[in-house]
Every structure is written in C-alpha cells, then in structure tokens.
Chains A and B, each alone.
Chain A
Amino acid sequence: MIDKLQLKPPNMSGEYSHAKLENIGTRSPSWKAPIMNTIVIFRHRFLVRNLVRREIRGRYRNAMLGYTWTVIEPMLLASVYYFLFVMLAGNPDKMYPVWVLIGVVIWGCFGRSLSGSVSSLSRNAQTIHLVYFPRVIFPTTSIMGNIVISMMSCLVVIPILIFYDLPVTVYIIYVPISVLFAGFLGIGLGMLVAPLNCVQRDVEHLFRFIVRAGFFLSPVMWTYEMALERGVFGEVALYNPMTVPLTMARHGVAGESLGIPWAGVLGSLGFGIIMWILGSIVFNRYEAGAVKHL
C-alpha cells in the first residue's frame, strides 16, 4: 500500500537554486586538455585520494605479509633472473643482483602503470555507468596507486645500502625520481589507448605483451653500462625512453651522478611530455564516445 504523502506544493516560493541553464557535457578545447586534466585532478583530490587508497588496498588484500610483498616480490623475481643470467653468461659483477633488483622495481612501476591505465576505463565500467565525474581520474589514480606501491618497493634499497656498505649521497634522490619518471612515461601512453580499449579489449592484451617484451628490450636484466661496452648498443639503448629512469635509479643507489649524455635525458623526458600531451588530448576527445561501448 502506498500511503498518500503530503508534499508541499511545488513553486511555493522562489527558493529553488538560481543557477542558469548550462549545456551538459561540454568538452574543453583540445589544446587545453593537458592543463585542464591537471586542474581536474587537483579539484577532485578527495575522490582521487580515496580511489588511490582503494587501488593500493586491493593489491594485497587478505595477504598475511600484506605490504611487505611490495619488497618481497621484486626480490624473488630478481633472484630468479640472477640465477638465469649467471647460468647463461657467468658471473659478471658482485653488484649485478642489485642492478637487476632495481631494474625489476622500476620496470615494474612502468609496466603496471601502463597496463593499469590502459584498462582503467574498462575495469571501472560499473562506476562509469553510475555517476559522472571527469574520467581522466581513472587512469591517473591507477598510476598514482602504482607509484605509491613502487615507492614502498624502493625501501628494499635500505638493506642493500647497508649490506654492500655503499655511501649514501645526495644522488639517492634519483631513486624516487626515477619511480615518478617511470610512472609518468606510463600515463601518456595509457591515456592514449584507454578509450580504444573500451571498444576492443585486444588493446589490453597487446599492451600486456608489450610490457613483457619491453622487459627484455630495456636495461632491466642488463645495464646501460653493459650496452656501452658493446659499442653502438649504448647509443641504441638511449632510444629507449626507459633507459634513463632505470639507469638513474642504479646510479642513485651507487651514489654516482647520472652518467648519461644530456641529449638522452632530454629525449626521454621529451618523449614522456609529448606522450602526456598527446594522451591527454586523445583521451579528452574520445573517452565520452568510448564509454558507450562499455
């Protein structure tokens, strides 16, 4: 039974909001997209914080060791690669396992950021159907979560510094910077293809493969210095944008300056910025249409 409800008659007074009629869902012009995205993230910081928290909590749920997995996982992975490498090529260097470990952490940050942001829209289909807020928040929070997790992984550096008796210099700052750098390289590409992934999920699978293949093509199991010893390979390696953050983190731990030509650093940074601008524009232009495919 529905009881008769006494509702106040509408329009008793002019107490309703005096907001003017505005178009719904107007897009900001493309050239503004990168700036607007940044402003939007700042404006929605409460939401962003909560979504990042969900991302991090979700990763190690119901695990006894919880967040220590952020450190254990790269260590286990590095030890496997170490044995593989020693078996194949003989023992090169006592620092080699450390370089692999750091490589795994930094590459992990990039790889997870990339695949996380590529699938960010499709994973959040339910929320997207429920409520509107600027969707650039999805890839961004995915990457922020990964950066936080990778920062925690970086704590593995502390026992290394003690065990190998390495000097702690100002260059240690390179370690967190390179995590940010790796995450930043992931976001541009991620935003660029996230809308496409709504249309066909193949994109997600393709990028999972790219992350895996890139692992071997980037200086993760090998170092930039090893490539330099082989002459031309050193220059070729610099065309890979990930060479800079990976090398940067290693030099930070060793307490040395970067040792990469400035052109290489600028090239890598430039690549990141261009991808970010391009990604922002494409995301801004296509996300609304792509959401219909979800």
Chain B
Amino acid sequence: MTENAVEIKNVVLHFPKQRNALIMLVNFFRRKKVRFTALRNVSFEVKKGEVLGIIGKNGSGKSTLLRIISGIYPADEGSCKAAGSISLLAGLGTGFSGHQTGRENAILYGSILGHNEQMMIEKLPEIIEFSELENFIDEPVRTYSSGMKARLGLAVASAIHPDILLIDEVLGVGDPQFKEKSKKRILNLVESTGTVVLVSHSFGLMKDICDRLVFIHKGEIIGVGEPDEIIKLYYETTGKD
C-alpha cells in the first residue's frame, strides 16, 4: 500500500461567463449566477511514484485540472491535497520579455518557475548548453524565432526537481532533432521525479510511460484504469472522427 501524492475529491470548478457590465450587475442583484462548469465532481488520486496520464478532447478540462493541482485556480467545491513541491510544465516561454537577453530571461523565467538563486547560478551553463542558442544567448529575445524561444523555455523549465511533476503538452517543440532531445529530457525528468501527471494527445507515448490513464470528458471523469482500456473507452465515447 503506497501513499497518495495527490488526492482530488469531488472537485467542482466554475468559470464566470464574461458578459457586459450591465448584465453582470443585473444578474448580481437577481442573485443569478451565469457560469460555465469546467469540472464536475472530479475525484481521483495519484500514488507516489506513479505516472498518471489524462486524456480527453480539447476543452474537456484537462489543463484546468492541472491548474487546480498546481494551485492556479482554487476549487469551488471539494478538496485538493498534494504532498510536496509541485511544478507545472506548460506554455513554455510565456512571460519572456523581448528586450532582455536570453540569459536574463532564463534567470527571470527560472525565478518565475520557483527556482532559487543558488540553483539558477549553478544550472545556467547547462541550461544554455541544452538550449543550443550559443551566441544568441546574449541577444534580446525579440530577435529569436519561436523555436528558439521554446527551446530556451524548455531548457529552463526542465531544470527542476519537484516532488510532483505536472506536464501539459510540452513535448514537440523545435526541429526534429531537438524534439527528440527534448523528449528524452522530459522522459528523464519523468523518470527521476517519479510522481507525474501528464496531459498529452499522443496516445502512443502515454501507453508507453503511463501506469494509469484518466479519461475526462466535458468536465467529468468517465474512466480510470489501464491505458489500453481507457484509450478504447475514449474512442468509444468520442467516436472515431
């Protein structure tokens, strides 16, 4: 019997629907709540050392679920518990400031992701080497191509040692060679971290590395279990096309 690293119990999350101010005001006084329910009664747990995959169609609530675990959104109902430090790998390189150099941005982005100063100083040479930016590292980021930005983002983001790792579709940036390299790096990270929650659309990869899959559809969990079964269930529920 292993301990749980993450416990999600009956989590409900609503998003407010954006309306104009007048309608919002009227609804406020009529105590009517116009909202969109992104997650309905979601419960599952992740064991320590387990790689859990989440699958579902676009807009089914996968990313929202990861954001709940990482604390970005508070759950409206239910409870969400986690043991230890959590890192979310998502949207690599957002928050870069274009007029600062790659090196400065690496430090900035690293500190945003919660790296401490000591670690950034130690890791910086390795990060720069991994990003393959070479001389560009001291140029402003606005001169970078989108691939270069993503590479730098991945290099910084993957230099972490959390207890729990959340990955949201970050496999597959840059050219084929870098894609391969980044996949290897993330898989290494998955291996060394142990407890991982992974959101991805590449079922082949998930079949290989995930111990269990969670299938989420329209904000509700349809099934949890062995990867093969759940992928079958996915196709049965959503249709082949």
Contacts and interface: CB of A to CB of B under 8 A. Distances in A.
A50 B103 CA distance: 12
A133 B83 contact: no
B16 A16 contact: no
B83 A8 contact: no
A158 interface: no
A163 interface: no
Interface string B93-118: 01101011000100110011110110
B94 A288 contact: no
A54 B110 CA distance: 13
A7 B113 CA distance: 26
Interface residues of A, number: 45
A204 to B, nearest CB: 13
B220 interface: no
Contacts of A5: 187, 208-209
Contacts of A8: 191
Interface in B1-54: 2-5, 7, 15-16, 18, 21, 24, 47-51
Interface of B is mostly: mixed
Contacts, number: 138
A293 B94 contact: no
B81 A23 contact: yes
A51 B120 CA distance: 15
A62 B91 CA distance: 27
Interface in A75-132: 124, 126-132
B209 A21 contact: no
Interface in A20-64: 20-25, 46-47, 49-51, 53-54, 57-58, 61-62
Given A10-B211, A22-B82, 19 more contacts: A5-B208, A7-B51, A7-B209, A11-B49, A19-B163, A21-B3, A23-B79, A24-B68, A24-B70, A47-B114, A50-B108, A54-B108, A62-B99, A126-B94, A129-B67, A130-B95, A130-B112, A131-B72, A292-B16
Pairs of residues from A and B, 10 with the lowest C-beta to C-beta distance, nearest first: A19-B84, A10-B49, A61-B99, A132-B71, A17-B163, A47-B111, A19-B83, A21-B81, A16-B48, A11-B49
